[in-house]
Structure formats: C-alpha cells, structure tokens
Structure 1
Amino acid sequence: MSFNRRSFLKSSALAAGALATPGIFHRAAMAADEIEVGVLFSQTGGLSIIEKSLSDATLMAIDEINSAGGVLGKQIKPLVEDGASDPKTFNEKASKLIIRDRVPTVFGCYTSASRKAVLPVFEKRRNLLFYPTYYEGFECSKNVVYTGAVPNQQLSNFIPWIINTLGKKKFFIVGSNYIYPREMAKVSKILIEQNGGEWIADEYLELGHSEWGAMVNKIKSSGCDVVLSNVVGDSVVAFYREYKNQGISQADLPICATVTSEVEIAAMGAEYAAGSYTSFPYFQAIDTPANHAFVERYRKFVNDPKAVTHHAMASSYFQVFLWKQAVEKAGEATPEAIVANVGGQSFDAPDGKVTVEAANLHTAMTPRIAQWKADGQGEIVEAYDHPVFPLPYVAYGETQDNLFCTAQGLDTSKLNQ
C-alpha cells in the first residue's frame, strides 16, 4: 500500500477530526491492524524551512515500510502534528499525541528548545521520542532515542581540522540565542583551547533574527580569522547574505558551521555560501549508490526534482527503520519493549552504517566535513573511515571506556570530577 505526502497529511487531518472522544480512534486503529505513531515537526513558522523536510522524510520511510508489508503485519498510521516553530506548541502537541491519541512512539522535534519542551511529557508518561537532530549533548534520557550527531561526531573532528588544516586559530563564535548554540559554544571553546587556538568573541542574536549588519561589522573588526557559526533556521539565510554583501571573502575569513545544510543554502542562493564549511555525518554529496537512490526516492516522494537532502532529514528517515527493527525484535510496539530492543540495532543508512548504542541510546555514525561549492552542494574534504561511538558528555571528559550516560542513567558524580 503506497501513499504520497499529500495523502499522508490528508489522512492525518481526518484522523484528528475523529478524536472527539479520547481513545476511540486508537481502539479502531488497533482493530484494523494499524500501529499509530506521532510525527511532530514544524509545518509553519521560521523553522519550517528545515522541519518540513524532516516530516517528509519520516513519511517517506513509513510509506516504504508499509509498501513492503508493514511492521508485524500491521500498517503504520502516522498522525501528523505541527509544532509551529514554538516550544510551547510542541509541548501541547506531544501531550495530545501521547495522552489523547495514545501513540507508542513520536518521531519529531528539530531544535533543542522543542526537545526540552516535550521531554517532561515523554518522561512522565513513559513514552518514547525518536529525535533526529544533531544536538549539543548533555542529556541522558531513557525516553529518547537520539539519531543525530553529538559533539564528538561533529566538533571533535571539526575544530582540530580548522586549526591544523585551514591554519585558522582565532575564532569568532556566533549563534542563535537558545540552548543548542550556547552549549555547542561551550564544547567548542574547550576544543579550541585544547588544540592551541583561541576564541575572541561569543555572540548571539535571537532565533529568527534577520538584521545581521551590526553583527557582521563586529566580526569584520574583531581580528578573528575564522567564524564558527551555530546560527539556526532562516537566520542562517540572512547571516550568509549579509556576510557576502559586506564583501567578506570566505577564502580569507571562512564561516565554519555546525548547522548550515543543503536546505539553507538552497534558500539563500549557493553563491552566498560558496567556500564555507560545515561538519555533518551526512551530505547529499556522498557518492554511493545507496545515497543516490535515496535522493531520487525523496525527490519523487515530494514531487520536486530539485529537492535537497541533508543530515537531520537523513536521520529522520533511517530512525523509522531502526524503530521498525526494534518493534519486530520485541514482537510488540510498546515504548518499554522498543527501548529494551532498540540498542544494538543497525541500519545501512544513506550516510553508511548507523547503530543505536544500547549504553546510551545515541547513535554511532561517521563524521564528515564538506566545503560548499557554487552549485549548492558540498565537496567532502575530510571523512572518518568508520562510525564513531556517540559521547554526549565528551565536554566533561566522557570516553567510551568511561561513560557518564549509561543504561542505568546519568552518573552525575562524574560531572564533578
């Protein structure tokens, strides 16, 4: 049975209308051999520039699984909700999906602000969130499966490379004003100092801010020789455009980003990012048959021959298959059963082999660095030859032989060592 994005959204809207009495639709769906899941991303607001693609990738994975026979002989029924780029709305929609719709799993959230907003709901209700975004670490929840990169998979390779390969040592750190950019800056400062560099500024503008003239002037006059950008959402577009408009050369003063992806570059125009860098495990430019096929399937699914793929989107896609494998191993789709069986699950994703580590429910994946070209695609200039174990507390000295986040929870005593 095959659906496209439009039919998915239509069916979700019809389902929402049937929920006047809590639990009725859930019982009917179970009787019809369906497993309902939540799909919670921003369809509107400033962050929809990215989050619509995460929703689409999730729905595409569900479509492919359903077309191949489903899970345990059941079709997956997605209930799509709009977080509207607002943490409070994310909290409300998560509560609806868990309490009213009684879904056993939600695939969703992009920003750390939205993840933090919904986390109390999942932990209180003992439900399960699959979170696809690269994030700052410093979290150890047994109600979240983290399938995006953590700092040791995104910064531990990037900062030394910037200093040793690009020869840039004076960092101007800039970000959007919320938890992810600020925590990534903390990790970056440690790595910069460990590798013989220095940070000369750490500045923030509000999420969605579009007036970057004063900040870019500050960068120009700071004496820095590299910009580490943790700017998020549509602010990325405004920042890079202002950077070029003020005549700054990426060759002389490059932007090295932890967030800027193919989507933001398509939105701003490739000429504004050409010569800059980003560190991600996934880029559309990965030259493998599996990735080429993934890109083509996605373009067909969204009916856009020019649609681009990116890291959080690829994680949104493959995490549904990791969930499927855990459900099939468990023989049921309850949150407890999935958590007990998702550890150790591997999948041949568009970016190579990924594995959920049972110790901390984070995902091993392969770090890469790309330089953006005039065609809007990244040229991969550095890549590990193997997946890297995820360490969400690497800034505090966590290693694979000395884990802070374990199956028993966070060992807070190690944070004070």
Structure 2
Amino acid sequence: MKLLKNLKATIAVVAFSLPFIGQASAADEIKVGVLFSLTGGLSIVEKSLSDATLMAIDEINANGGVDGKMIKPIVEDGASDPKTFNEKASKLVIRDRVVTVFGGYTSASRKAMLPVIEKRKNLLFYPTFYEGYECSKNVIYTGSVPNQQLNNYIPYLVNKLGKKKFFIVGSNYLFPKEMAKVAKKLIEANGAEWVADEYLELGHSEWGSMVKKIKDSGADVVLSNVVGDSVISFYREYFNQGISQKDIPIASTVTSEIEVAALGGKYAAGSYTSFPYFQAIDTKENHDFIKRYRAYVNDPNAVTHVTMVAAYESVYEWAKAVEKSGKTKPLDIMEAAKGVSIDGPMGVMTVSPENLHNSMTPRIAQWQEDGQGKIVDEYDVPVQPLPYSAYGETADNLFCTASGLDSSKL
C-alpha cells in the first residue's frame, strides 16, 4: 500500500500498517482521546468520524501498534454541544492524560476545545473542512480550507457551466460566512456576480420562502453553504418547487454522501459539491478502504465521505509523526508531523510545516440519482492550504507560518 509504503511491516488482513518492535505489553501504551458527537443532532455525521478513527486505531494496533506501543483510545461524547466538547476535552487532557485528541466536527466544537488544548500544551487533530482564519500551533488540520474548495469550484461553475449569477445561501454561523467572503471575490474575479447572500439558522426546516426567493432572484446557480439537517429540507423543497438542477443547480460546499443518503438521491441529482474526497474516487486505496469500513461497521451499504476519511487518515499521520519523533509528548508529535505525507483513500496529503494544515487535491462531483457523486473535475496535484485566503493570503505571501500569525497582514 502506498499510504505506508516506507514503513517496515504489513499484514495480509490489514491494508494499512505500521512498524513495531516486539510485542507491546498492556502497560506500554499511548493514550489518545476520541471526541465526537455520539448523541444529538450532529451524531448522524459524527458517529461515522468516531468509527473511522477507531478503525484506524484498531488497524494499527492489529499490526503491533506504534513502535511496539498499543494505542489506547478513550472515547467521549461531545453530545452536539460546544460546552460539552470543552468539558470532555478538559477531562481527556487533565484527568486521562491523553497525548492527543482526535475530534470535533463543527468550528464551534473546535473553538470550544482549543483553549484547553493550547493552555495544556496538548495536540488536536481536527478533520473537518472549515473556514480557515486560524493559526494554532496545537492543531493539525486534516480538512480542507476555502482555497482548496473554491479556487477550482467558482471558475468551473462560471467557465464550464456558463453560470453568471450566484445566489449565496448558508446557515447562520462562521463557516458559511467565511466561505461566502472567499466566494464573492472569486465570483467577481471570474466575471460573474452574486445577487444575494442569505442566511437561516442551523436546523432551519421551513425553506419555502427562501426557495421562492431563489426562484424569483434571476440567479442561474446557487452556492450553498447550508449545513446539517437543513440540507435535507432545503434540497427537498427545491425539488418540490420544481426548480431544475440543470437550469439553476445547487453548488454546495458541504453536501456529502452522508447528507445525500439522508435526503434521497433523486433530490440531489444534478447538483454539485466540491471536496477533496468522494466515495467515487477510483483507486485501489479507496476501494479497499470502503470494503474495510463497511466490514468494520457491519453495514454493506455504509457510505464513506470526506470528513470521516480525513478522521481516518488523521490517525495515520499522527502515527507516522510518533514514529518519526520517537517521543509521545504532544508538542514533540506536532513538531514531527511537519512534512509528514500519506497516500490513502483521499490521495496524497502532506502536513504543511508552516501552518499545520494539509495539502490535498480539489475535486468536483455531480450527484447522481443513486446517491453517488460523479467526479467531473479533478486537479492533477494537491493544492497548498491557505487558511487566510479570504484576507489576501497567497502561496508567496503566507500569513500563518512556523513563527506564528503575522497579524499585520490582516
């Protein structure tokens, strides 16, 4: 397997493996926290992130762990509540003395954990695509940032699909607003215009008036930053009001296989999403991963999606960093993670030594009635993460570096 091709041992039943020295004893272990929402409104997504994280840990342990040490996961439930995430992170770091926390889905949960992680000089692996505008030295970010989702997306919509008038709609919190900020610049730079920028509360389910507003706006494409259960209500109302995805497609930055499975393929068919990962990626690494995941959760029809794959690959990046460092203190692991590269279901990912985000490959998919995305555009190489692209950051002018954030550039 390419993901761990430079490591020393493989076993037939586990596709991804790590080297080990001898047999680890029960006392010779590395404790990590696994903190996702197992209950509450976000559990529909976050349960799969927890499963994928534990699957990676089990695979690594099945092959002897990391340098002979078993990984001991301590699982907690964030309960879809930022305050609970803060409390559970405190418990994991202070009482359980974990050396790393794998967790968080929403930016609110990450922001709730961050004070604990930073104050206690611990380490968080955060797997979700997010809005950027963060430069922590205690977080490895394995999800995409706006430039890795939008820099390919807006030109495709304008130049390939001929769309010129964007209706921007999102849930009312930080991520959708930051994505809109980046999108507006790209829309204008590509000779198009945005005719509206509207927000409804998280969990909003009455989409009749908003969909009518879209229909009456003159827009020929909808850029959707709608999150969570609202996706289901939005797409179904769009379908019920008879708006054609061919004429006015929904182009989402959020909707993945798991949301499409929940709302029904016919309601999403013809719409688009931009992500670094889709279940439709046609590689041996991805096909093998899908089979193993379905076996792990005992569901032959389970879908895979971008954030759960990032959660899975987070563990392998962490393991390579631990092996590289030879140490298990959080900041030693962080330092060793710089430049670590893996090649898995999502393709090649590499931790930036500057901002601790990952380079990854942008892709665009059009959803089909069977609930799967057909990849219609894909970059040849991974793209550098620029968490401050909304504020003018470029590859030649980084705001977030190994020295910290240069706030004078903001």
Q: TM-score, normalised by structure 2?
A: 0.93
38-47 or 362-371, which deviates more: 38-47
User: CA-atom RMSD, angstroms?
Assistant: 1.4
Of 154, 165, 171, the match for 1:170: 165
> Conserved in 1, the CA contact under 8 Å of 2:278 and 2:306?
yes
Q: Does 1:57 align with 2:52?
A: yes
Partner of 2:208: 213
Partner of 1:69: 64
> Conserved in 2, the CA contact under 8 Å of 1:91 and 1:118?
yes
Q: Does 1:386 align with 2:386?
A: no
Distance 2:159 2:26 in 1: 60
1:292-303 aligned at under 5 Å gives the runs 292-303=287-298
Shift of 1:211: 1.5
1:291-330 aligned at under 5 Å gives the runs 291-330=286-325
Matched residue of 2:38: which SS? coil
Distance 2:190 2:120 in 1: 43
Shift of 1:203: 1.1
Distance 1:195 1:221 in 2: 24
Shift of 1:384: 0.3
> Conserved in 2, the CA contact under 8 Å of 1:346 and 1:353?
yes
Distance 1:58 1:229 in 2: 28
> Conserved in 1, the CA contact under 8 Å of 2:324 and 2:336?
yes
Q: Which runs of 5+ in 2 are unaligned?
A: 1-10, 12-23
Partner of 1:403: 398
Give, as a single letter, the amino acid of the residue that structure 2 aligns with 1:227: V
Partner of 2:188: 193
Give, as a single letter, the amino acid of the residue that structure 1 aligns with 2:265: A
Give, as a single letter, the amino acid of the residue that structure 1 aligns with 2:220: D
Give, as a single letter, the amino acid of the residue that structure 2 aligns with 1:263: I
Give, as a single letter, the amino acid of the residue that structure 2 aligns with 1:122: I
Give, as a single letter, the amino acid of the residue that structure 1 aligns with 2:178: E
Partner deviation per Cα, 1:203-222 (whole Å, 9 max, x = no partner): 11111112211211111111
Partner of 2:18: none
Shift of 1:31: 6.8
Partner of 2:364: 369
Partner of 2:149: 154
Distance 2:214 2:294 in 1: 38
Distance 1:235 1:36 in 2: 36
Q: Does 1:244 align with 2:251?
A: no
Of 217, 220, 233, the match for 1:222: 217
Shift of 1:159: 0.8
Distance 1:214 1:143 in 2: 43
Give, as a single letter, the amino acid of the residue that structure 2 aligns with 1:127: N
Matched residue of 1:40: which SS? strand
Of 249, 254, 261, the match for 2:249: 254
Give, as a single letter, the amino acid of the residue that structure 2 aligns with 1:360: N
> Conserved in 1, the CA contact under 8 Å of 2:165 and 2:221?
yes
Q: Which runs of 5+ in 1 are unaligned?
A: 3-28
Distance 2:45 2:190 in 1: 33
> Conserved in 2, the CA contact under 8 Å of 1:172 and 1:219?
yes
> Conserved in 1, the CA contact under 8 Å of 2:317 and 2:341?
yes
Shift of 1:236: 0.9
Partner deviation per Cα, 1:76-118 (whole Å, 9 max, x = no partner): 1111111111111111111111111111100010111111111
Partner deviation per Cα, 1:255-285 (whole Å, 9 max, x = no partner): 0000000000001110000000000000000
Shift of 1:73: 0.7
> Conserved in 2, the CA contact under 8 Å of 1:150 and 1:392?
yes
Matched residue of 1:154: which SS? helix
Shift of 1:196: 1.2
Shift of 1:393: 1.0
275-284 or 223-232, which deviates more: 223-232
Partner deviation per Cα, 1:343-375 (whole Å, 9 max, x = no partner): 110111102111101111000110000000011
265-274 or 116-125, which deviates more: 116-125
> Conserved in 2, the CA contact under 8 Å of 1:281 and 1:366?
yes
> Conserved in 2, the CA contact under 8 Å of 1:113 and 1:178?
no
> Conserved in 1, the CA contact under 8 Å of 2:271 and 2:367?
yes
